[in-house]
Amino acid sequence: MCGIIGYWNKELEAFPILLESLKKLEYRGYDSFGFATSFENKLLTERQVGKVSSAKCPILPGKIGIGHTRWATHGKVTEKNTHPHRDCSGKIAVVHNGIIENFQELKNSLLNKNHNFLSETDTEVISHLIEEKLEQGMNLKDAVIEIGSLLKGRNSFVVLNSETKEIIAFRKGSPLIVGITKENGTSEVFIASDIQAFLDKTKKVMYLDDNQIVIIKENPEFYNVKTKDKIEKRLIKIALDTKDAEKGDYSHYMLKEIMEQKETLAKAINQNDKDLMHVSQEINNARGVFFVGCGTAARVCHTAEYIFSKIADKHVNFIPASEFENYKHFLLPETLVIAVSQSGETADVLEALEIAKQRGSKIISIINTQSSSIDKISDYTFLIKAGPEKAVASTKATTSQIVVLILLAYACAGKLKEGERFLIDVAGKVNDMLNPRYEEHIKKLAEIIYQRENIFIIGRGINYPMALESAIKIMEVSYIHAQGFAGGELKHGPIALIEKATPVIVLVANDDVRQEIISNAIEVKSRGAYVIGVSPENNPIFDYWIKTPDVNGEASSIINLVAVQLLAYYLGILRGHDVDYPRSLAKSVTVK
Ligand code: G6P
């Protein structure tokens, strides 16, 4: 949530590089964006409301600078609330990611000292606090250390002092990574919220950890905020490829990522058997297993209850990460907490894991981003290897996460090989399913229903959490009101909303609840619903049938979801929305 970039070099103009880098961070928030550079020791800034990718910006001169793309928390979406935020002297600029929980108290004391605030943001207190420290004669490094420690909550920020040409970053909570390139005698140093920002320039990185600062210069210097000691960091060469994060021939990342499921499922199956067996033993021996995640990943955690019950005869619990604290008294050293997350940076998940750590419980994670904060806090990590997911609405990461859950459940049941064979068959069926004719058939359905105001989705068993996830997908990108229900719950309220031609998507599998979900479909059909069957077999009550490959048991969740992802995509397109960057959402939610 919010993208940060900083850039230092001695020869090149910084602005074009900052601009291109910031565009790659747009998925982190796109309410507004801004830049600051240091030119002839003066601070120059440019800030605009809207998306950086579609903006026309005057070029700011200068060889060093910072940039920010905002997802608004404190203060409306206006130019004056756009980062960077300056101090009264006009030489300090700050970009920030997080929420300063004690900002009002800090702001009041600064107002008493006659600081002039230009925005409604919490961020601006950082600029004025630094100004205070510099006026007291402190150097920027010590000022950043002192102020970083003063801020309550999860806060990472980068400060530019235009007069001294210094850039210093502080990290607590949300990620900041340093990238370094040294070519033909020219050094360039980046600091960014995500490697993607500078991946086309360098793959050599150093990770800033919590409660550390880094001085951005030719040889970046890292310090521990608590001890003030200098820290030696290893330069790590990462293996990511920029091509994976580009749209290629696709019009949208979302469509590209849906189609990539032809390959990503197979990659997710390819885990280390020893690790799976080891973790499955931990699951079998644990006193309580809790799955935690947010948003779509929370729906994946919900499927875990069905997957482990059906495949491994094992009871596990699902808790939305934001509610986890309420359950902390159940956590023992023998308890296992399993986090599911695409980004590995979601604030609520991290907080849940910090609680688990304090209680001595073991942490396992199923994530897509190596070296992310969740990776670092985990005792064991399974990477889903889905490649970069850029569209805000998660698609390929979701199905890969379900694959890893199914594998783990088979391992718990002592049938890992059987599970692998089964999933390879499922991956093959998804590969066959995602063909142009199939896409066309789903697009036709979207053309029939895209102007409706409400869409309901029902499922039973594992297709109940998938009905909830389907609703998220449709809402996110089409802004149609969509709601998922357990088939049996429909008549306890929601059925009152079914009118003539209300679309109801029925997620069907050839499982033991097949007949019951068809009965629920008949109930809504009697009230005039337009019934859309996502099912291996046709049925006379379906007004529209989306045929799905017939797979056994819990993998129907993957198959049914892929069909609905495509439908959501076309609903969004037909309603004229920016499906990759839906309004008010962000890909990486690093605030609570
Ligand atoms: C945001 C994204 C969702 C995602 C959720 C959790 O809301 O828009 O697509 O499911 O965060 O993110 P994570 O990175 O933890 O999976």
Quick one: how far is CA 494 from the chain centroid? 31
Residues 306 and 427 in one domain: yes
Is the CB of residue 205 less than 8 Å from the CB of residue 179? yes
Residues 252 and 239 in one domain: no
Residue from 163, 158, 171, 404 nearest 271 by CA = 404
Q: Name the domain boundary from 196, 225, 244.
A: 244
Separation of alpha carbons 414 and 398, rounded Å: 25
Residues 224 and 251 in one domain: no
At 55 the pLDDT is 84
Residues 325 and 468 in one domain: no
CA of residue 328 to ligand 1 center, whole Å: 23
CB of 394 closer than 6 angstroms to any ligand 1 atom: yes
Beta bridge partners of 176: 208
Is the CB of residue 344 less than 8 Å from the CB of residue 394? no
Residue from 484, 485, 482 nearest 453 by CA = 482
CB of 296 closer than 6 angstroms to any ligand 1 atom: yes
At 134 the pLDDT is 97
Residues 82 and 226 in one domain: yes
Task: Please give the structure tokens belonging to residue 274.
Answer: 């020893």
91, 298, 381 from 303: Cα distances, Å: 52, 9, 19
CA of residue 397 to ligand 1 center, whole Å: 10
Residue from 353, 366, 363, 382 nearest 300 by CA = 366
Write the residue with the smallest CA distance to atom 8 of ligand 1.
Answer: 587
Structural domain boundaries enclosing 7: 3-244
pTM: 0.89
- The bridge status of strand 544-547 relative to strand 530-535 is parallel
Residues 207 and 69 in one domain: yes
At 387 the pLDDT is 93
589, 590, 591, 592: residue to mutate for ligand 1 pocket, most atoms within 8 A of CB: 589
At 255 the pLDDT is 97
CA of residue 297 to ligand 1 center, whole Å: 6
Separation of alpha carbons 105 and 177, rounded Å: 30
Separation of alpha carbons 174 and 376, rounded Å: 13
Residues 192 and 309 in one domain: no
| CA atoms lying within 13 Å on the CB side of residue 289 | 24
CA of residue 373 to ligand 1 center, whole Å: 15
Q: Dihedrals φ, ψ of 545, to 5°?
A: -115, 125
Residue from 269, 260, 254, 259 nearest 426 by CA = 269
Separation of alpha carbons 222 and 228, rounded Å: 10
The residues that are catalytic are: 2, 587
Quick one: how far is CA 96 from the chain centroid? 18
Separation of alpha carbons 166 and 86, rounded Å: 15
Contacts for 113 with CB less than 8 Å, ≥ 6 apart: 132
Quick one: how far is CA 248 from the chain centroid? 22
Is the CB of residue 474 less than 8 Å from the CB of residue 455? yes
At 586 the pLDDT is 85
Q: Which atom of ligand 1 is nearest to the CA of 293?
A: 15
Tell me which DSSP letter residue 242 carries.
G
Q: Name the domain boundary from 193, 224, 244.
A: 244
Q: Give the domain CATH number at 52.
A: 3.60.20.10
Is the CB of residue 566 less than 8 Å from the CB of residue 442? yes
Q: Name the domain boundary from 228, 244, 260.
A: 244
Residues 115 and 37 in one domain: yes
Per the structure, the count of domains in the chain is 3
Separation of alpha carbons 344 and 590, rounded Å: 10
Beta bridge partners of 65: 7, 37
Task: Please give the structure tokens belonging to residue 215.
Answer: 């001085």
Residues 293 and 199 in one domain: no
Q: Which atom of ligand 1 is nearest to the CA of 585?
A: 8
Q: What is the pLDDT along the chain (592 residues), one digit of tens a residue?
A: 799 999 999 999 999 999 999 999 998 999 999 999 999 999 999 999 999 998 888 999 999 999 999 999 889 999 999 999 999 999 999 999 999 999 999 999 999 999 999 999 999 999 999 999 999 999 999 999 999 999 999 999 999 999 999 999 999 988 999 999 988 778 999 999 999 999 999 999 999 999 999 999 999 999 999 999 999 999 999 877 777 778 888 999 999 999 999 999 999 999 999 999 999 999 999 999 999 999 999 999 999 999 999 999 999 999 999 999 999 999 999 999 999 999 999 999 999 999 999 999 999 999 999 989 999 999 999 999 999 999 999 999 999 999 999 999 999 999 999 999 999 999 999 999 999 999 999 999 999 999 999 999 999 999 999 999 999 999 999 999 999 999 999 889 989 999 999 999 999 999 999 999 999 999 999 999 999 999 999 999 999 999 999 997 899 999 999 999 999 999 999 999 999 999 989 888 877 7
Helical ranges in 69-113 per DSSP H: 103-112
At 203 the pLDDT is 93
Residues 239 and 268 in one domain: no
Q: Dihedrals φ, ψ of 560, to 5°?
A: -65, -40
Q: Give the domain CATH number at 288.
A: 3.40.50.10490
Residues 511 and 539 in one domain: yes
Residues 236 and 252 in one domain: no
CB of 401 closer than 6 angstroms to any ligand 1 atom: no
